[in-house]
């Protein structure tokens, strides 16, 4: 965080508040319009969802939750196919508005707007309020974000919880040195961190990380990243403080932060793991779909994009349990990777290309105009991110929060399969880096004009 920049930014915060409110209204109106357009399109096409398959499965699971029936779909029943985070949201929509997909789209439009607000808060926390405004603007009007936010897919709901977890991470990692001990009333600026408060705040971060993982299981490795960051980057004492923290005490604080992270995440994911143990006899913290998904990206006919036709053709569930099926495909994928290292490496680059593509596959068929708009907007943001990175107006924690989730998911999907929609939630924190770059470009332009 750039302290001097934030201090200079404070006098104009009040002046920018109406702009921020107006931006949130625009973001909501754009998403509601997208919901109407998508709903009309799918109805004219005689379908319920724009991207069927995943959406159908989520909706059916949500219907089962709302009806109080078994959390399972297909025959034979798949009881651990999907983590419950997103179906629970849809079940709440069904409880409130009935079996109305359009109402669920409106709810997702509101959540997508909330993600824009959280992006503003993240940019304000990492840099300055003006930077937060520009970051929120980039995601508020991005055509991919506007359209994707109203699809019956988990990305928007995941982005909401991911942004909360990142803000929570900054909450205690940047402020841990300003927390006074619980047993004293002395000013915080002169005291070492309070272990209890530090552990509690880290546990909140772990809890939010666990909720995000129950929406998108690929976020689970971020827990390990957060633990490493707490060990290496935690600011445990002030250089000008009257009470200094010893080296041994500082490492105790760091390990307490790790313990808080793990405890919070474990607490929120434990009920799901207990339920899975009851229905399968195995402790499963995420889902039993990682094996087929891994084989989808690592098999003789793999291209880097998803193609699950092999699953229906082989129909191994006729002779295996759900757990055995998952292990079966996982072992086949690992065997293929070990026997074909060069092909595995080539596939990894193909998956990265799908993941980083500026235009999703389902938009490419809609016309070249949309593809051009998405490509130009994406290239513009990439250039700004490069400028923002080169500006060095960030610290290690800030760079980790802005870029870390994108790099993590890129590595994950270079192993599994790649798709643009998996990248979209990660562009919210990345937009802050683009906003830093935009501010640097604007300042240079103003200097040239003067």
Q: What is the DSSP string of 2-25?
A: -HHHHHHHGGGHHHHHHHHHHHHH
Per-residue buried b or exposed e for 351-375, using 16+ beta carbons within 10 Å of the residue's own CB: bbebbebbbbeebeeeeeebbeebe
66 alpha-carbon distance from chain centroid? 26
Q: What is the DSSP string of 246-257?
A: PHHHHHHHHHHH
Partners of 73 in beta bridges: 78
pLDDT tens-place values along the chain, 450 residues long: 554 444 445 555 667 788 899 999 999 999 999 999 999 999 998 888 888 888 999 999 999 999 999 999 988 899 999 999 999 999 999 999 999 999 999 999 999 999 999 999 999 999 888 899 999 999 999 999 999 999 999 999 999 999 999 999 998 887 554 444 454 444 444 445 678 888 899 999 999 999 999 999 999 999 999 999 988 887 654 444 444 445 556 788 888 899 999 999 999 999 999 999 999 999 999 999 999 999 999 999 999 888 888 998 898 998 999 999 999 999 999 999 999 999 999 999 999 999 999 887 666 555 667 788 888 888 999 999 999 999 989 888 999 999 999 999 999 999 999 889 999 999 999 999 999 999 898 877 776 666
74: nearest Cα among 94, 56, 100, 93 = 56
Residue labelled with tokens 């490496």: 345
HSE-CB for 229 with a 13 A CA cutoff: 23
74: nearest Cα among 331, 318, 353, 432 = 318
Q: How much is the pTM?
A: 0.91
Cα separations (Å) of 401 from 120, 326, 411? Answer: 14, 32, 16
């Amino acid at each position: 965080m750039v302290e001097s920049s934030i201090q200079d930014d404070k006098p104009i915060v009040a002046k920018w508040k109406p702009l921020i409110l107006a931006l949130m209204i625009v973001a909501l109106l754009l998403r509601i319009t997208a919901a109407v357009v998508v709903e009309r399109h799918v109805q004219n096409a005689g379908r319920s969802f724009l991207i069927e398959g995943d959406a159908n499965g989520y909706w059916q699971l949500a219907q089962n939750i709302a009806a109080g029936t078994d959390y399972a779909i297909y025959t034979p029943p798949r009881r651990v196919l999907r983590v419950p985070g997103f179906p629970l949201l849809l079940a709440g929509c069904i409880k409130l508005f009935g079996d109305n997909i359009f109402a669920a789209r409106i709810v997702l439009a509101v959540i997508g707007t909330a993600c824009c607000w959280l992006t503003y808060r993240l940019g304000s926390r990492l840099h300055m309020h003006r930077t937060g405004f520009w970051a929120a603007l980039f995601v508020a009007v991005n055509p991919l974000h506007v359209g994707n936010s109203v699809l019956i897919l988990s990305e928007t709901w995941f982005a909401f919880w991911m942004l909360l977890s990142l803000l929570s991470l900054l909450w205690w990692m940047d402020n841990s040195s300003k927390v006074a001990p619980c047993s004293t009333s002395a000013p915080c600026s002169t005291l070492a961190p309070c272990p209890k408060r530090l552990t509690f705040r880290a546990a909140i971060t772990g809890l939010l990380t666990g909720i995000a993982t129950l929406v998108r299981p690929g976020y689970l490795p971020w827990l390990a990243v957060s633990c490493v960051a707490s060990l290496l980057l935690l600011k445990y004492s002030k250089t000008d403080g009257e009470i200094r923290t010893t080296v041994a005490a500082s490492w105790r604080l760091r390990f307490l932060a790790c313990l808080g992270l793990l405890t919070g995440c474990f607490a929120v994911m434990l009920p799901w793991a207990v339920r899975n143990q009851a229905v399968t006899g195995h402790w499963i913290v995420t889902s039993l779909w990682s094996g087929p998904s891994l084989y989808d990206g690592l098999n003789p006919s793999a291209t880097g994009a998803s193609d699950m036709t092999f699953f229906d053709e082989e129909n191994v569930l006729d002779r295996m349990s759900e757990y055995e099926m998952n292990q079966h495909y996982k072992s086949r994928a690992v065997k293929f990777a070990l026997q074909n290292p060069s092909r595995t490496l080539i596939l990894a680059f193909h998956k990265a290309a799908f993941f980083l593509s500026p235009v999703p596959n389902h938009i490419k068929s809609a016309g070249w105009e949309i593809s051009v708009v998405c490509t130009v907007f994406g290239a513009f943001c990439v250039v700004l991110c490069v400028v923002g990175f080169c500006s060095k107006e960030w610290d290690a924690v800030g760079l980790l929060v802005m870029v870390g989730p994108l790099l993590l998911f890129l590595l994950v999907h270079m192993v599994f399969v790649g798709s643009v929609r998996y990248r979209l939630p990660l562009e919210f924190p990345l937009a802050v880096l683009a906003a830093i770059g935009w501010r640097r470009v604007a300042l240079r332009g103003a200097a040239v004009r003067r």
